[in-house]
Chain A
Amino acid sequence: MLTEKNRNNTPLIEVQSVSFSYDAKHTGRALNRVSFFVAKNERVAILGHNGSGKSTLVKILGGLQSPTEGVCMVNGKDIQDMDFRELRGIIGMVFQDPENQIVAAMVEDDVAFAPENQGLPPEEIQSRVDTALERVNMTRKQGASVSALSGGEKQRIALAGALAAKVECLILDEATAMLDPKGRLDIEAALRELHAGGMTIIQVTHQIEAENFDDIQRVIVLGKGEIIWQGITEEFWGAAEGLGFDLPDEFKARKYIDSLGLTFPDSFTSITPPAPKHTRKTDGAEKFRIEGLSFRYDEASYALREIDAEIPAGQWLSVIGRTGSGKSTLVQHLNALYKIQEGRIYFDGSELPQKGAEVHALRQKVGLVFQNPEDQLFSPTVREELAFAPSNAGFRGKELDDAIMCGLKCSSLPESFLERNPIALSGGERRLVAIASVLSAKPDCVVLDEPLAGLDASYQKKILSMLAGLRDDGRTVITISHDLNMALNCSDRILILKDSKKVQEGTPEECLEALMNILEPEGWPDVLRLSNEIRKLNKNFPLLYNYQEFISCISQI
């Protein structure tokens, strides 16, 4: 299982039969007899679903948690016997949320934090900061204020913060999970260069990304606290689906193309494109009509500018745009969280109420689920959480019980969950409860901000089928997202915003071109990017975004 190169190297990290349990009785172990090693200058991925023990392993590898049993060796020494400073000069860590790692207000001050803790003289600290910023390609931002950076840039600052300690090994715990495609690619580019420069990299993640797997040499899969698979990356692809990991579409598609031995420039002349999808029929009723809506937070700039849109009842609308394009501001007008400054909104044909009891009635009809809604749970039991919205809307007695059961049914969670404490549930289950806690008030229209963000593939599927079910039930579904896969393959209509203005509105087919113009290719669905590449070689190939359709077109060749 080892490559020749690794065998000759001494292991940098050696984990020997490490176990960990959070309770003293050593029942329910978070980690159970985990053993593996990481050689110098290796790049290893540790994969695992939520609850597999990854986070615990990260803390143990970083010396931030002592194992209950077993030892973790770094450079042949037990971490437990190592001097704190010595260890911190070998292992650097980058965590998921950039906001929770940045301690200073200014970029340079933050990157200086680690060398300052090492007690270095000022000149040495400054040179470490300069080098670290250069290695993550952020030199031009050295004098900037951290709050002015994008999520991806903040994460690169966190990376520089770890590098400034002159570490030999980087441990990344879901470090790209909260970033947009561009941010992910920038981090990946920096990691590739660091790896080429001799850095040992351990990446802990729950999801395979096509962009980094050709640089990762070995994969270790963790399941329920134990190692269930380990081997070189090429072998991992064959085993992935059996281990419960979805392969990226791009990977599957490329493999299929290779298996047919296709070369594109001359291998086909014409192809029957897939039949256009039937557009969902409605009775023509509008749920919302927006006319000339403008909004600004301050005098200086518009958050929304003259937006006109129609949202048909009983359909699924995706609102697409980059961060800061005005998506959230727009949808928060729909349940009067923002008051209309300019323009008009009609809801079911009459003007949207702006104050008083009518606003309360509106908020029952238009449910809004914010990003990471699990952060807003507050009740001691799931039952009380589900009862909050309907009882605020005036549901009592049997009606309220009905509403709770209706919410639970939407979430597809079993009835036994009603008496459980939301805080004790897994991340995916909490997301389902949080969405259900809005649906329990039986809204006609539900708006969700990035409903899939940060979830495992299995929970993403559950939420997608929940939303499709709501739509088939005749309710209006509105999602905000930068996930084009969901917008193109699941929703009926798309509304595109750019720089506070509407760019286009229509069916996924009608909007495809505009979407490709405003979002970089790295944000496109894998299949769309591939079909676009093929189209560059041969114009007869259609632009596609659905994996099945793509495969059927390829098989025609």
Chain B
Amino acid sequence: MYFTNITLGQYIPTGSFIHKLDPRAKLFSLLFIISAIFPAKNIFALAFWTALFVLVVYASKISWHIILRAARPVLFLVVFTFIFNLIAVSFSKDFTQGLIRAAFMSSRLLLLMLFAVMLPLTTAPLELADGLDALLRPLERIGFPAHESAMMIGMALRFIPLLMQETDKIIRAQLSRGARLDQGNIFRRVMAFIPVLIPLFIIIFRRADEIALAMEARGYDGGAGRTRRKPLVWKHVDTVAVILCAFTAAAFMFL
């Protein structure tokens, strides 16, 4: 009811073709798709990317129910964009144009988010970390902590569902003690969340501490000298996927 229904960052294994793609290929493809959707100017482009999204979802064998649930937290942003654009454009031009522009801007944002949400849904956190690690590796030469950053993102994704559950439980417990989380002006509402945020931070720090200890106990000592049970293998299908995405993206951007 409060936080349990959010599947943000959760991995849903179905063993589909999308799941089996190399995480690097998925990261590259996402990068191309996002850079094509951002400047998309006409309805045909949007229609095409929507169709592609539907195709990707079907190929991933993940139910629409889960995907829409995962996307729910970003809906707020989409609605906000819609209203903001509607008001801004309606004032400067006329209402119909405002409506069109608002619809266009918000659906573009929604599409972006939906594609982005598909990545953690179809890629296990540690696999994603491996992919990011490999892609960021060149930056290590200028001192960027590539492995550490990738591992951090992977672990964060692994623990998001757990922290959502914890947040839900804390909210319920404080509501039970009579906390009013939904009344008063913005300032009062923010203050009302302190009884939720403090316990949450304590839990996060305690978990982080215990996880670090458990990882060390299993011999984790950074990325150096670490091998993988299933090393990333770049297959032909990965090349095809990336090239297709790159070409379509380029086509829409320049034509």
A→B interface (CB under 8 Å): 59, 62, 64, 84-85, 88-89, 91-93, 95, 97, 99-101, 103-106, 108-109, 112-122, 125-126, 129, 145, 147, 158, 161-162, 165, 297-298, 332, 335, 337-338, 360, 363-364, 367-370, 373, 375-378, 388-389, 392-393, 423, 437-438, 441
Q: Taking CB as reference atom, which chain A residue is nearest B13?
A: A145
Q: Taking CB as reference atom, which chain A residue is nearest B123?
A: A105
- Bound together, the chains give a CA A441 to CA B13 distance in angstroms of 46
Task: Tell me whether A370 and B176 are in contact (CB under 8 A).
Answer: yes
Task: Tell me whether A106 and B124 are in contact (CB under 8 A).
Answer: yes
Stretch with Cβ within 8 A of A (4 or more), from B40-48, B197-205, B240-248 = B197-205
> Known contacts A95-B210, A105-B124: does B172 contact A375 (CB below 8 Å)?
no
Task: Tell me whether A392 and B177 are in contact (CB under 8 A).
Answer: yes
Task: Tell me whether B13 and A393 are in contact (CB under 8 A).
Answer: no
> Known contacts A116-B227, A119-B227: does B158 contact A103 (CB below 8 Å)?
yes
Q: Determine if B55 is an interface residue (Cβ-Cβ < 8 Å).
A: no
Task: Tell me whether B178 and A378 are in contact (CB under 8 A).
Answer: no
B→A interface (CB under 8 Å): 1, 4-5, 11, 13, 65, 124-127, 155, 158, 161-162, 166, 169-170, 172-180, 194-195, 198-199, 202-203, 207, 210-211, 213-221, 225-231
Chain B residues with CB under 8 A of A126: 229
Task: Tell me whether A377 and B199 are in contact (CB under 8 A).
Answer: yes
Q: Taking CB as reference atom, which chain A residue is nearest B194?
A: A378
Task: Tell me whether A375 and B124 are in contact (CB under 8 A).
Answer: no
> Known contacts A59-B213, A100-B207: does B173 contact A373 (CB below 8 Å)?
yes
Chain B residues with CB under 8 A of A125: 227-229
> Known contacts A103-B211, A438-B176: does B219 contact A378 (CB below 8 Å)?
no
Contact of A88 among B155, B217, B229 (CB under 8 A): B217
Count how many pairs of residues, one from A and one from B, have CB atoms less than 8 Å apart in the complex: 160
Task: Tell me whether A99 and B1 are in contact (CB under 8 A).
Answer: no
Closest-CB distance, B4 to chain A (whole angstroms): 8
Task: Tell me whether B211 and A101 are in contact (CB under 8 A).
Answer: yes
Closest-CB distance, B85 to chain A (whole angstroms): 33
Q: Taking CB as reference atom, which chain A residue is nearest B201?
A: A378
Q: Taking CB as reference atom, which chain A residue is nearest B172?
A: A337
Q: Taking CB as reference atom, which chain B residue is nearest A393?
A: B178
Task: Tell me whether A332 and B155 are in contact (CB under 8 A).
Answer: no
What's the dominant secondary structure at chain B's contact region?
A: helix
Contact of A165 among B1, B4, B202, B219 (CB under 8 A): B219
Q: Taking CB as reference atom, which chain B residue is nearest A115?
A: B229
User: What are 23 A-B contacts defined by CB distance under 8 Å?
Assistant: A64-B213, A84-B221, A92-B218, A95-B210, A95-B213, A95-B217, A114-B218, A116-B228, A117-B219, A125-B227, A158-B214, A165-B218, A360-B180, A363-B176, A367-B176, A368-B172, A370-B172, A375-B199, A378-B198, A378-B199, A388-B177, A392-B178, A392-B179
Contact of B214 among A95, A337, A375 (CB under 8 A): A95
Task: Tell me whether A116 and B229 are in contact (CB under 8 A).
Answer: yes
Q: Taking CB as reference atom, which chain B residue is nearest A161?
A: B218
Task: Tell me whether B125 and A104 are in contact (CB under 8 A).
Answer: yes
> Known contacts A59-B213, A105-B124, A106-B124: does B178 contact A162 (CB below 8 Å)?
no
> Known contacts A104-B124, A364-B178, A368-B176: does B158 contact A116 (CB below 8 Å)?
no
Closest-CB distance, A550 to chain B (whole angstroms): 38
Chain B residues with CB under 8 A of A93: 214, 217
Task: Tell me whether A103 and B178 are in contact (CB under 8 A).
Answer: no
Chain A residues with CB under 8 A of B226: 116-117, 119
- Bound together, the chains give a CA A368 to CA B169 distance in angstroms of 12
Chain B residues with CB under 8 A of A377: 199
Task: Tell me whether A337 and B218 are in contact (CB under 8 A).
Answer: no
- Bound together, the chains give a CA A388 to CA B173 distance in angstroms of 12
Contact of A332 among B172, B178, B219 (CB under 8 A): B172
Task: Tell me whether A84 and B13 are in contact (CB under 8 A).
Answer: no
Contact of B216 among A64, A104, A363, A389 (CB under 8 A): A64
Chain B residues with CB under 8 A of A100: 207, 210-211, 214
Chain B residues with CB under 8 A of A120: 227
Chain B residues with CB under 8 A of A118: 219
Q: Beyond the given A109-B126, A145-B13, please list 7 additional residue pairs across the A-B interface where CB-CB is below 8 A.
A: A89-B219, A101-B211, A121-B227, A125-B227, A158-B214, A338-B1, A423-B202
Q: Taking CB as reference atom, which chain A residue is nearest B175?
A: A337
- Bound together, the chains give a CA A485 to CA B219 distance in angstroms of 41
Chain B residues with CB under 8 A of A297: 4-5
> Known contacts A85-B219, A370-B172, A375-B202: does B162 contact A112 (CB below 8 Å)?
no
Task: Tell me whether A105 and B158 are in contact (CB under 8 A).
Answer: yes
Closest-CB distance, A159 to chain B (whole angstroms): 12
Q: Taking CB as reference atom, which chain A residue is nearest B5?
A: A297
- Bound together, the chains give a CA A161 to CA B158 distance in angstroms of 17
